[in-house]
Amino acid sequence: MSDPQGGGPLGMDAETMLAIGGFVLVFSLVAIGATLFVTPVLAYICVPGGAAPAAIVLGLGILEYHREKQLKEFTTLLKTYRRIRIDELAAKVGKSPVEAERLLSRAIELGYVAGVIDRSADEFVLAGTEKAQVFVERCPHCGGVVNRWAFPEERFLCPYCNVAVEVPPTPASAASGTG
């Protein structure tokens, strides 16, 4: 598999590992049960050659299933934001910023979410929304330098005067009547 869609140790997704492990395990147990009383020596071949590896693959499939489930839940949360700082995202999911960024990178790599990580602001920006942003250089209330990207009509607190800064609409959104 050149481009696996799963992150498991075998390079397969959880469903594939569960199917393969389950099939081989059931087949091995049937073979062991059928031959145990007739030819017990065949059980010595079936256990290490089929049942044990199948049980390992099944266990790895269960672990990968839980990882994929966590990643999909993380992605669902992520899609509710147009832009979010990595440290805020980490706090929301109860992980360190490094772990949250690792999850985010994995979600982008597997195609669960489309977007980019803006390294200058240490934020994740959902794909398609980056062009709608406006750069706010100064606070209109105190004149403090905020140097921040924001979405039209978004509000954020100025770090100097703690007054809500409302981002003006872009000329394109103001002309079309969207807000």
pLDDT at position 6 is 56
Residue given tokens 């993380």 in the structure block: 74
Write the pLDDT tens digit of every residue in 29-53: 877 777 777 777 777 776 777 778 8
Q: What is the token pair recorded at 168? A: 């003006």
Q: Helix, strand or coil for residue 155?
A: strand
CA atoms within 13 A of residue 47's CA, in its CB half-sphere:
8
CATH number 2.40.40.20 given to 79-125: no
Residue 153, Ramachandran bin (φ over 0: left; ψ between -120 and 50: alpha; else beta): left
pTM of the model: 0.59
d(CA 31, CA 74): 42
pLDDT at position 5 is 53
pLDDT at position 8 is 64
Q: Check whether 178 has a pLDDT greater than 70.
A: no
Residue given tokens 């109860």 in the structure block: 94
Q: pLDDT band for 2, please (50, 70, 90 cuts).
A: very low
Q: How much is the mean pLDDT over the chain?
A: 79
d(CA 64, CA 120): 33
Q: Are 129 and 84 spatial neighbours (Cβ–Cβ below 8 Å)?
A: no
pLDDT at position 4 is 40
Write the pLDDT tens digit of every residue in 94-116: 989 999 888 888 888 888 888 88
Range 138-148 average pLDDT: 87
Q: Check whether 1 has a pLDDT greater than 70.
A: no
Q: Check whether 149 has a pLDDT greater than 80.
A: no
Residue type, 63: L
Nearest to 153 by CA among 124, 131, 137, 132: 132
End-to-end, the C-alpha distance of the chain in Å comes to 46
> Which H helix or E strand runs over 176?
helix 171-176
80 C-beta neighbours (distance < 10 Å), count: 8
pLDDT at position 3 is 39
Q: pLDDT band for 173, please (50, 70, 90 cuts).
A: very low
Q: pLDDT band for 58, please (50, 70, 90 cuts).
A: confident
Q: Are 101 and 55 spatial neighbours (Cβ–Cβ below 8 Å)?
A: no
Range 13-17 average pLDDT: 83
d(CA 11, CA 4): 6
